[in-house]
């Protein structure tokens, strides 16, 4: 069995994000080979318009249903969809998505207003995640989550409109 198929099986069986390290450990293949295989697999699924896709975020990969299949799968799985995003949530998500990982202070500065409440709500809805700042104690860095990608129907954060321009 080739690496590509192995990865496909593992991502299917996992049903949750798998990291590069985990895939390396499970398959016994090198990181470069796995990365390469993931890219090819991901492209094939897209170009052949298959029913499943692979999302990538923060060094992890997740297998999901294809965007085109969303209305169909919804008939099978009745996910409860939350309402709209408030204006404050939209702004905060945009800052975290386009600028992340960011600190709370940075978000406050850009929005010109205390954002803890909004950030906590987004954390609660699972649309953003946080981790400790490697250099600063008592500080978190915020970034978007797989759930964010899933809700927006995009494969990675790079697919957001003008993402490249913002990163410059």
List residues near other proteins by CB under 8 A.
12, 14-16, 53, 55, 62-67, 70, 73-74, 77, 79, 81, 84-85, 87-88, 90-95, 97-99, 104, 109-114, 116, 132, 137-140, 149-154, 160-162, 166
Measured from the CB of residue 32, what is the shortest distance to other proteins in angstroms? 27
Shorter beta-carbon distance to other proteins: residue 48 or 87: 87
Measured from the CB of residue 57, what is the shortest distance to other proteins in angstroms? 12
Q: What is the DSSP string of 110-138?
A: HHTS--HHHHHHHHHTTSEEEEE-SSSTT
Beta bridge partners of 72: none
60-65, strands of its sheet edge to edge: 18-19, 60-65, 52-57
Helices (H), 15-162: 20-27, 31-47, 70-76, 87-99, 104-111, 116-124, 146-152
Shorter beta-carbon distance to other proteins: residue 92 or 143: 92
Shorter beta-carbon distance to other proteins: residue 3 or 62: 62
């Amino acid at each position: 069995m080739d690496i590509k198929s192995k990865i496909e099986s593992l991502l299917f069986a996992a049903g949750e994000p798998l990291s590069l390290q985990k895939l390396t450990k499970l398959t016994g293949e090198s990181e470069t080979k796995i990365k390469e295989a993931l890219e090819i697999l991901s492209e094939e699924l897209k170009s052949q318009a298959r029913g499943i896709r692979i999302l990538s975020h923060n060094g992890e990969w997740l297998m999901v249903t294809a965007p085109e299949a969303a209305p169909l799968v919804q008939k099978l799985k009745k996910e409860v969809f939350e309402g709209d995003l408030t204006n404050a949530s939209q702004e905060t998500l945009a800052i975290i998505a386009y600028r992340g990982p960011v600190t709370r202070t940075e978000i406050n500065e850009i929005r010109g207003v205390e954002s803890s409440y909004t950030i906590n709500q987004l954390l609660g809805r699972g649309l953003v995640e946080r981790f400790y700042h490697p250099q600063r104690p008592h500080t978190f860095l915020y970034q978007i989550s797989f759930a964010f990608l899933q809700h927006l129907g995009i494969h990675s954060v790079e697919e957001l409109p003008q993402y490249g321009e913002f990163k410059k």
